[in-house]
Amino acid sequence: MKIAVGQMSVSPEKEINLTTIEELVSQAFEAGAKLILLPESCMYASAEPPGPLNGVAEAIDGPFVSALKRFANLYSICIVAGIFESSVDASRVYNTVVVIDEDGVLKDSYRKIHLYDAFGMKESDRVMAGDGATLVFQVGSLTFGVMTCYDLRFPELARYLAFQGAQAILLPVAWQTGPMKESHLEILTRARAIENNLYMVVAAQVGVNCCGNSMVVDPMGVIQASVANNECILVSELRQQRVEEVREYSPTLQNRRADVYARWRDSNQRWYEEVTNSD
């Protein structure tokens, strides 16, 4: 199955972003892709200091997603894209990924679980964390899972998606530049692919302090396609047979020791909760 990654510079103007998105979707269609992944928060980005996003966010059935639905239907392609979704909180929104099928119908959405309170940033000041609901869906013969940006640093989520049947994980990002940041994006993406025997697909923002580096990584951790920091589409082939082959001769999921992990979890040390809840 051929998929496309749309790497783009995101503007503070939604209409400009929609124009860019339609051009990327058109290119993906011309290339024969059945799905295009767009970056995290491709609705809006600003070089200004972070402020409230309530004036930017929209309901899931708002005009921005409605435009994405039109593009999906017009070009007969599945669109996966990051938006800011309005919430009941007066000062915070959801960082959401929507999945729209080739008929222009909203299949489902995922609200980012892990918020980027790290590297001097505090996403939780402007964004509400998702409640833990995950997203797995099928296009053609492949099953996809969804994560968002900072989620990549938490292997539990990728493993959970793999056990829900994901053969590829789609990761829209607005990965910030900084010391070692680009290396972390590549290393962690390849690690998630290797340990779960699945494809990892990254769609990145460029500009506004974002590093780009969109990539497609195969289930053995090999980067089979990548791009630096220019606005473009990246087209790559994902094969169900490749996932099955890797899971046969590198059966990481089968060789887990769930019995041992259960003993660790239930031991008096309560290691998992203590580490998770530590300051």
Active site residues: 40, 112, 149
Other CB atoms within 10 Å distance of the CB of residue 12: 13
| DSSP label of 228 | -
Report the distance separating Cα 64 and Cα 22, nearest Å. 12
Nearest to 238 by CA among 218, 252, 215: 218
* Pairing status of strand 2-9 against strand 232-237: antiparallel
Decide: 180 and 174 in contact? Cβ < 8 Å: no
Task: Single out the residue of 206, 50, 181, 203 nearest to residue 119, CA to CA.
Answer: 181
* 3 state SS of 42: coil
Pairing between β-strand 210-211 and β-strand 199-207 as defined by DSSP bridges: antiparallel
Q: How far apart are CA 72 and CA 100, in angstroms?
A: 7
Bridge partners (DSSP) of residue 142 are 139
Beta bridge partner(s), residue 109: 98
Quick one: tokens of 65? 């997603």
Tell me if 170 sits within 8 A of 37, measured CB to CB. Answer: yes
